[in-house]
Amino acid sequence: MSIEIAKKVLEEWFARRGLRLEYEGERELVLIEGNNKVYVRISSEEFPTESYIIDELSAAMKNRLKYNKAYIAFPRNARGLINGKLFKSHWVGVYLYDVSSALSDPDRAVEELIPSIPIQLPQGGNEEIEKRLSEIEKTIAELRSAVDGLNIKTLMRDVAELREKLLRMESTINDLINRVSRLERVGITAANTAQVSTEGGGGGELPDFLSDNPWIEVLRRRGGGGG
Amino acid sequence: MIDESKYKLNYVYAEDFGTGYFKYGPITLRDKPYMIQSRGLFLRDLPESIKLLVPKEVLERGVVVGDEIPKYLSSVRDAIRNLRYPLKDGIIRKEDEDSWRIVKELARYGFSQFYPEFARRPDFKGFFLVVALSALAPDYMRDRMIEIHRELDNEFDGKLLQAVTIIDQPFAVAIAEKAVTCTVIEAGHGNIQLVPISYGPIREGIVALNRGGAEANAITREILKDSGYGDLAKDEYVVEIVKRNAGLVPRNLDEAVKKARENPDKFSIKVKINPLVEVELRDTAWMRFLIGEIIFNPKHEVFTSYIQQGRLVIEDVTVGDMVFYGEMDMAEALITSIRKVPVEIQDKIMSTIILSGGAFSWSVPPGLEDVAVNSVDKIKIMVSERLPDLATRLSISMVKDPQFSVWKGAIIYGYALPSNVKWNERTKEGWYYLH
Ligand SMILES: Nc1ncnc2c1ncn2[C@@H]1O[C@H](COP(=O)(O)OP(=O)(O)OP(=O)(O)O)[C@@H](O)[C@H]1O
Ligand SMILES: [Mg+2]
């Protein structure tokens, strides 16, 4: 399906909703909606793969901060392949269009599948920002005096005490681990001697994936002595 | 010695830095290492709101790997630029700091899964670490690997590692396969290494080819375009699936192509990518044989037109003093390698040839046995066309576990190489002690 037709269908639909076309690129439309600038990237891919979608998304993200809203328009057939979370987390919306219904029912030729979360562009609004800044400054000053008021010394002492306790617990646990592994070793040796005695030979300690491999001897000899 | 063996039965640890996957873990895992993709995601230009949610140390390091990647993928603005595969060609350039950072992160990710448990054991005094790298890795790569692990050891208060050593991946394969004299051919994604081994790698005999699974992907992409799937051809995932399912290694390319052109029905194939997308090769079904052939012999004239039109790039490159041949066919590479080793051991080297690596994973669909072969038979056929006498003496086999044999061999190496063998620049063998 050609991009040109899709573009016409979308332009028509936006015009019916009172949006004004500001710029038209090969695959892009920029529209004016009241005070807002809306960016629309058009794809004709009916079955977009995930990596294709990520490519499109990163193309739409490139100038995201220049527009209040940004969308990607896909053919309606792509509906099931759109991962809503991915778009929402990037503040990009999705339109679905259907060229075949453009003539019979122009109103339903396009639908908004995922709305674009609008962002405020930095224009004017300086007073607002200054007001917020002085509020934040005030909060910081309050926080600072609150922190000064805290009794750091007592806190530090508590922390030291806790650390002390933790160390004691750790060494008790280590001690326990030692004892357990000693016990386990006794168990294993007992089992091994039982096995070896039936074979009547020594060794027999190696796990199967190390045994019976000529490299073990070859490499051992590099240490200058036998095994 | 007894004590050392006992210690090492618990505390040898190996890392295999593959171009596609990083395999890692301690000896106690026995046959199967842990595995994550060799890739990292840089946390660049994160939205401020997200930054607040990321742990401080992660934010400072600025890169994540493994199962951390999906957590952040949708928050990173330019996911494509920031998701990087550091070992794509097997070699990392000296000044490629981004790639080194990912390598360090991969190693750290592995250690942090195992260290806490090991640190609690009273007899644990640090791992003996074996790092497996390409046989063609230049010296600076080995040095940098040691440096990276020294830094990591410091981060763990010097308690993580006792000593580090480095092993060539094909050498590790030979150890895992219990072959003391042999030739290993390791065909990964980025390149193919042929390494003769006799009680250790014979460096003069190493031959490197500048192609691998990646070139099979490149020709698959062109085939998709020629079959009317221009858009799908852009998708690396689609290309990978089509390659693995449709690719065939021909017994003889000219005959296979002739048969497939005469009888396209027999050779046509449908590959289902997902419930919606399916690729069918019918008129172009004969091209399935190009996918396998290119690994073994890109010199065949059918590839010439692709190369002349710039649709395929296969050329020699030089890394340090090593030439990676682009077009040299597999039989010639094998013969070249064998000729470079001392005459008195040539016979032994030839008697065991071991194939490993994913780019040799080709199978023969039922009914196509007369035209298609597996990698072992392909190499036998190619050598016997060139040197019939030699072919009868070759014994070629494919490893059981192409993905894990490097890690397994590295573990065995770390276990057996005595701790009193200190690193030797000339033999490139021995332990670097970090303390
Ligand atoms: N069934 C298959 N058929 C064809 N090619 C395959 C198949 N499975 C894996 N491959 C290819 O094998 C290559 C990866 O090989 P492998 O897993 O040995 O490499 P690696 O371990 O990641 O890298 P290195 O060779 O550097 O260690 C890729 O090009 C992949 O497409
Ligand atoms: Mg490998």
A10 within domain boundaries: yes
- Average pLDDT value for residue range B55-75: 88
Write down which residue in A132, A150, A168 finishes a domain. A150
Write down which residue in A86, A118, A150 finishes a domain. A150
Write down which residue in A150, A181, A213 finishes a domain. A150
User: Hey, whose CA ends up nearest to atom 16 of ligand 1?
Assistant: B358
What's chain A's Rg over C-alpha atoms? 35
Question: How much distance in Å is there from the Cα of B66 to the middle of ligand 1?
Answer: 19
Task: Write the pLDDT tens digit of every residue in A89-100.
Answer: 888 999 999 988
Task: Enter the tokens of residue B400.
Answer: 């059981």
Expressed as residue numbers, the domain containing A32 is 3-150
Which residues, at least 6 apart from B117, have a Cβ–Cβ distance to it below 8 Å?
A: none
At B81 the pLDDT is: 83
Q: Number of structural domains, chain A?
A: 2
- Average pLDDT value for residue range B268-283: 92
- Which range, A29-38, A101-110, A166-175, is most confident? A29-38
Helix H or strand E segment including A74? strand A69-75
**B75 to A61: CB separation less than 8 angstroms, yes or no:** no
A61-65, A222-226, B162-166, B238-242: which range is least confident on average?
A: A222-226
Helices then strands, each counted (H, E), chain A: 6, 6
For B278, the closest chain A residue by CA position comes to: A47
Check if B343 contacts A (Cβ < 8 Å): no
A222 within domain boundaries: no
CA A90 – CA A102 distance, rounded (Å): 29
Residue A85: pLDDT over 50: yes
Nearest to B134 by CA among B32, B297, B20: B20
A42 within domain boundaries: yes
By Cβ distance, the residue of B235, B416, B417 closest to A49 is B235
Distance in angstroms between the alpha carbons of the first and the last residue of chain A:
74
At A226 the pLDDT is: 44
For A85, the closest chain B residue by CA position comes to: B74
Sorting pLDDT into bands at 50, 70 and 90, what band is A126? Answer: low
Q: Is B413 in the pocket of ligand 1 (CB under 6 A)?
A: no
Sorting pLDDT into bands at 50, 70 and 90, what band is B234? Answer: confident
A123 within domain boundaries: yes
Q: Specify whether the CB–CB gap between B298 and B211 falls below 8 A.
A: yes
**A207 to B9: CB separation less than 8 angstroms, yes or no:** yes
Task: Tell whether A180 and A115 lie within a shared domain.
Answer: no
Q: What is the ipTM of this complex?
A: 0.86
Task: Tell whether A31 and A121 lie within a shared domain.
Answer: yes
Check which CATH number belongs to the domain holding A75 and give it. 3.40.1350.10
CA B382 – CA A39 distance, rounded (Å): 58
Q: Is B213 in the pocket of ligand 1 (CB under 6 A)?
A: yes
Task: Tell whether A123 and A178 lie within a shared domain.
Answer: no
- Average pLDDT value for residue range B111-133: 95
Sorting pLDDT into bands at 50, 70 and 90, what band is A185? Answer: low
CA-B21 nearest atom, ligand 1? 22
What's chain B's Rg over C-alpha atoms? 23
Task: Enter the tokens of residue A66.
Answer: 């220049």
> How confident is the prediction for chain A on average, in pLDDT?
79
- Which range, A159-173, A193-207, B55-69, B84-98, is most confident? B55-69
Ligand sitting nearest the alpha carbon of B212: 1
Q: Is B90 in the pocket of ligand 1 (CB under 6 A)?
A: yes
Task: Tell whether A116 and A181 lie within a shared domain.
Answer: no
Cβ of A104: how many Cβ atoms within 10 Å? Answer: 8
CA B341 – CA B181 distance, rounded (Å): 12
Q: Specify whether the CB–CB gap between B427 and B143 falls below 8 A.
A: no
Q: In what order do the strands lie in the sheet with B34-37?
A: B34-37, B21-26, B12-17, B127-133, B161-168, B432-433
Task: Write the pLDDT tens digit of every residue in B365-421.
Answer: 999 999 999 999 999 999 999 988 888 888 999 998 888 999 999 999 999 999 999
By Cβ distance, the residue of B5, B120, B238 closest to A49 is B238
CA-B212 nearest atom, ligand 1? 29
Sorting pLDDT into bands at 50, 70 and 90, what band is A139? Answer: confident
Question: How much distance in Å is there from the Cα of B281 to the middle of ligand 1?
Answer: 23
A73 within domain boundaries: yes
3-state class of B198 per DSSP? strand
By Cβ distance, the residue of B9, B180, B232 closest to A215 is B180
By Cβ distance, the residue of A174, A215, A223 closest to B122 is A174
Cα of A123 to nearest chain B Cα, Å:
20
Q: What count of residues does chain A have?
A: 227
| pTM (two decimals) | 0.68
Q: Quickly list DSSP for B126-172.
A: -EEEEEEE-TT--HHHHHHHHHHHHHHHHHTTT-SEEEEEEEEHHHH
**B9 to A52: CB separation less than 8 angstroms, yes or no:** no
CA A105 – CA A107 distance, rounded (Å): 5
CA-B16 nearest atom, ligand 1? 27
For B277, the closest chain A residue by CA position comes to: A47
Task: Tell whether A113 and A100 lie within a shared domain.
Answer: yes
Q: Is B356 in the pocket of ligand 1 (CB under 6 A)?
A: no
Question: How much distance in Å is there from the Cα of B214 to the middle of ligand 2?
Answer: 14
DSSP assignment letter at B309: T
Task: Tell whether A182 and A135 lie within a shared domain.
Answer: no
At B173 the pLDDT is: 96
Task: Tell whether A102 and A113 lie within a shared domain.
Answer: yes
For residue B389, is it left (φ>0), alpha (ψ between -120 and 50) or beta?
A: alpha
Q: What percent of chain A has pLDDT over 90?
A: 22
HSE at residue B188, side-chain half, CA atoms within 13 A, is: 26
Cα of A52 to nearest chain B Cα, Å:
7
Task: Tell whether A163 and A107 lie within a shared domain.
Answer: no
Nearest to B112 by CA among B169, B72, B55: B55
Q: B9 vs B27, B28, B174, B416, B430, CA distance in Å?
A: 7, 7, 21, 10, 18
A:B CB pairs within 8 Å: 88
User: Hey, whose CA ends up nearest to atom 18 of ligand 1?
Assistant: B357
Buried b (16+ CB within 10 A) or exposed e, B17-32: bbbbbbbbbbbebeee
DSSP assignment letter at B326: S
Q: Is B244 in the pocket of ligand 1 (CB under 6 A)?
A: yes
Give me the residues paired with residue B187 across strands.
B192
Task: Tell whether A41 and A132 lie within a shared domain.
Answer: yes
CA B175 – CA B197 distance, rounded (Å): 10
Task: Tell whether A95 and A174 lie within a shared domain.
Answer: no
Q: Is B201 in the pocket of ligand 1 (CB under 6 A)?
A: no
Q: What count of residues does chain B have?
A: 435
CA A18 – CA A12 distance, rounded (Å): 10
Residue A145: pLDDT over 90: no
User: Hey, whose CA ends up nearest to atom 29 of ligand 1?
Assistant: B213
For A63, the closest chain B residue by CA position comes to: B77
For A180, the closest chain B residue by CA position comes to: B121
At B191 the pLDDT is: 87
A55 within domain boundaries: yes
What are the contacts of A161-164 at 24+ separation with CB within 8 A?
none
CA A92 – CA A118 distance, rounded (Å): 9
Task: Tell whether A17 and A97 lie within a shared domain.
Answer: yes
Which residues, at least 6 apart from B225, have a Cβ–Cβ distance to it below 8 Å?
A: B233
Task: Tell whether A54 and A162 lie within a shared domain.
Answer: no
- Average pLDDT value for residue range B205-232: 94
Q: Is B189 in the pocket of ligand 1 (CB under 6 A)?
A: yes
User: Hey, whose CA ends up nearest to atom 9 of ligand 1?
Assistant: B358
At B2 the pLDDT is: 61
A20 within domain boundaries: yes
**B276 to A47: CB separation less than 8 angstroms, yes or no:** yes
Residue ranges of domains in chain B, CATH in brackets: 1-37+88-171+400-435 (3.30.420.40), 40-84 (no CATH), 203-398 (3.30.420.570)
Q: Is B240 in the pocket of ligand 1 (CB under 6 A)?
A: yes
At B223 the pLDDT is: 96
Instruction: Compute the 3-state secondary structure of chain B and give helix, strand, coil in percent, each to the nearest 5.
Output: 45, 20, 35
CA B367 to chain centre: 31
Check if A210 contacts B (Cβ < 8 Å): yes
Sorting pLDDT into bands at 50, 70 and 90, what band is A192? Answer: very low
Q: Is B358 in the pocket of ligand 1 (CB under 6 A)?
A: yes
Task: Enter the tokens of residue B133.
Answer: 């790298």
Who has greater pLDDT, B309 or A74?
A74
CA-B240 nearest atom, ligand 1? 31
A215 within domain boundaries: no
Task: Enter the tokens of residue B339.
Answer: 């000729």
